[in-house]
Amino acid sequence: MLKINLNQIAWKKGDGLVPAVIQNPDNSQVLMLGYMDRAALVQTIDSGKVTFFSRSKKCLWTKGETSGNWLDYVSLEIDCDCDTILIQARPQGPVCHTGMVSCFNDISPDRTLFLSYLTKLIGERQVAMPSGSYTTSLFNEGKARIAQKVGEEGVELAIARMKDDKTEIASEAADLLFHMMILLQDADLTINDAIHVLETRHK
């Protein structure tokens, strides 16, 4: 179901078309730019597959209909002038026709941006508390158990470092970071609060 008012989009500015910037919600990488008319936008939301209006062929086309590299629609935003759309979509394979991940460059995005997605997911899990979820079990066990896990993972990371096993170090660091984010969420904080402290100290 549409969660925006299509009439608020300034279709007339571009003779019925608006540019649509496609971004990966998991790492914030900009993937491509296309154009949509009202029908393309409606089809995108209804089908869950990003659909554009081809200015050369004068018809709708769904990204991936030939290659199989679909763009799975997640959400959208309209800019302040109501004449550009930002589409969040997860790619199923390379987005560019050249085989590259992005039409702009093939530089891997900053992986730390994934932490924003993970922060949001942890917050959602705390509210929904889905059964069978490890995150749910930690929240159910309470702050003492969560704090204990952070301590355990910290020790395991230190041991991994002493063993000089880079694969194990990375794995244990991931475990520690994840459990630390759980602890922060349980304390009504996020990793952004910790980053803010670091930024303040840096200044």
Q: What is the pLDDT of residues 116-149, one digit of tens each?
A: 889 999 999 999 999 999 999 999 999 999 999 9
Domain boundary (91, 126, 154) is at 91
Tell me, yes or no, whether 184 lies in a domain: yes
The gap from C-alpha 18 to its chain's centroid, in whole angstroms, comes to: 23
**Residue 1 maps to a domain:** no
Q: What is the CATH number of the domain that holds 62?
A: 3.10.20.810
SS3 category, 107: coil
Is 98 a domain residue? no
Same domain, 36 and 82: yes
- Domain membership of residue 100 (yes or no) is no
3-state SS, residue 149: helix
Judgement on whether residues 19 and 55 belong to the same structural domain of the protein: yes
Residues 68 and 125 in one domain: no
Residue found under tokens 């649509």: 20
52 and 120 in a single domain? The answer is no
The mean pLDDT value for 77-87 works out to 95
Range of the domain at 128: 111-202
Q: Are 58 and 51 in contact (CB under 8 A)?
A: no
Domains in the chain, number: 2
Predicted confidence (pLDDT) per residue in 2-29, tens digit? 467 888 999 999 999 999 999 998 888 8
- Is the domain of 117 the same as that of 34? no
DSSP annotation string for 1-56:
---S-GGGS-GGGGTT-EEEEEE-TTT--EEEEEEE-HHHHHHHHHHSB-EEEETT
Mean pLDDT of 173-196: 97
Residue 147 and residue 85 share a domain:
no
Q: What is the mean pLDDT of residues 28-46?
A: 95
Is 0.75 surpassed by the pTM of this model? no
CATH code for the domain of 130: 1.10.287.1080
> Nearest-5° angle of CA 17, CA 19, CA 25?
135
Task: Please report which confidence band the pLDDT of residue 1 belongs to, taking 50, 70 and 90 as the band edges.
Answer: very low
Q: Both 62 and 115 in a single domain? A: no
Asked if 173 contacts 181 with a C-beta cutoff of 8 angstroms, the reply is no
